[in-house]
Chains A and B, each alone.
Chain A
Amino acid sequence: MGSTDIQLLQRRVRRTYELARLRRALVGVLPIVVVTAIATLLASRPAPPLTFGLATALMGAMMLWHGRDPQKAFLPGVIAGLVPLALALGTGALHTCGTANCSSLCLPACVLGGVIAGMAVSGVSFQRRAGPWFWVSASGLALLTGAMGCACMGTSGVVGLGMGFGAGIVPGLLRRVFGQKAS
């Protein structure tokens, strides 16, 4: 077999490898599709969870296809994101009424969920001594998953989730930075 043929074969085999990874990735994001369907059914407005769900599935598929740190961050990211999603969907129907007006519990639930998700992501990253790509991938996926539920309050819900998440990862980041300096 000539060198040209071997190069051609190598290219074809590489394509097979990439397609196999893509197939695996698409199968891997099926749970996200199920979660998106549930969130869409439970939400009062179906469009935001559907949009964020599609974005989550797309990002998840890319992470699984790419492999390495983003692939390892997939499961922690989704699980961390399920906390604000569940809290937001659970409190979506609840609201507290004062003397003047009523307010939804969605926003506080999103902030609290964001804090828990942030702490979970930073905890896992610290435990695994993960690199920056793990942090970025897990955080992105957790935020997108959580946003499926937090979009109940529109932009403010998503911003609340982001702020809560940011606050949640601060202790982990500090521990990582100071831990590295100490060692």
Chain B
Amino acid sequence: MTTVLLLLLLAFGAYLVAVLENWTTCGRFRLAAPVLAGIALLGRESILTRKPDRIFFEVAPVLLLLSAVLAAAVVPLTPNLIITDLATGALFINAALVYVLVALLMAGWGPDGAYAMVGGWRFLGQLIAYSMLIVMPITAVAMRAESLFTTQIVISQAQLWNVLYQPLGFVLFFIAAMALAFLPPFDLPTAKGELAGGVEAEYTGVRLAVFRLGRLALIITLAAATVIFYLGGWQGPWLPPWAWSAIKILAVTATMLLAGRMMPRIREAHLLAWCWKLGIPLALLNIFLVGVLVLVFP
């Protein structure tokens, strides 16, 4: 029952992300646009490239959707509204999200097209820069909560939210989450302007619909993860827990989408250099600072 409810919520979240993302481009029927676009995609012919790697081509969109859904399975929206509260929850989110990389690699390699392949390899380069930045702030979060249970992590922020306790970690995690969801300005793998859609380029019809749905689910899952790790999850005054979860997740999603719009796309080499020279050392510093704080003020 909870599972069905949460999956419906995830689908609704994906719909909201699609509405927000195309707010300025859809004209009058903004609220209906994603649904109509989805129906149009489902009705369209699925075109295969000339010599595709069939298995990779077919599996990639499903794997992308699956990893987003699996990561969402350990995200609590209220103290009880969670599919499964694993003892390794924080680690499990990571484990599920790493397969986004595999999915995009497959999507890039599968169709046997130049644009798609460049997109796939670009995402790999991007993630070589950012996967450590996803994990290291979560380590600091788990250090404070002294647990990997996601619910425990939320409860540990009852007095002070992690965004104030470890602001550095929050900024790094937020940026890394945007890079993982390949949102602009980190949309190197799908770059519409230069790669004609990149990994999406050869996908059409149902496969493209699943791929896009997977990406939207990924964005909302990452926003939810940011909320439970740094913004106190369901906690807040006056309103019921579910309302706080919803408000925070939507706010984070909107910030992610808006922040991307304001920046130009970053080049791969810059991305790698900045991340390894600045981002990862700062993440180590964050772990050190949180370690000292945890020891000094237990």
A and B associate: no
Interface residues of A (CB under 8 A from B): none
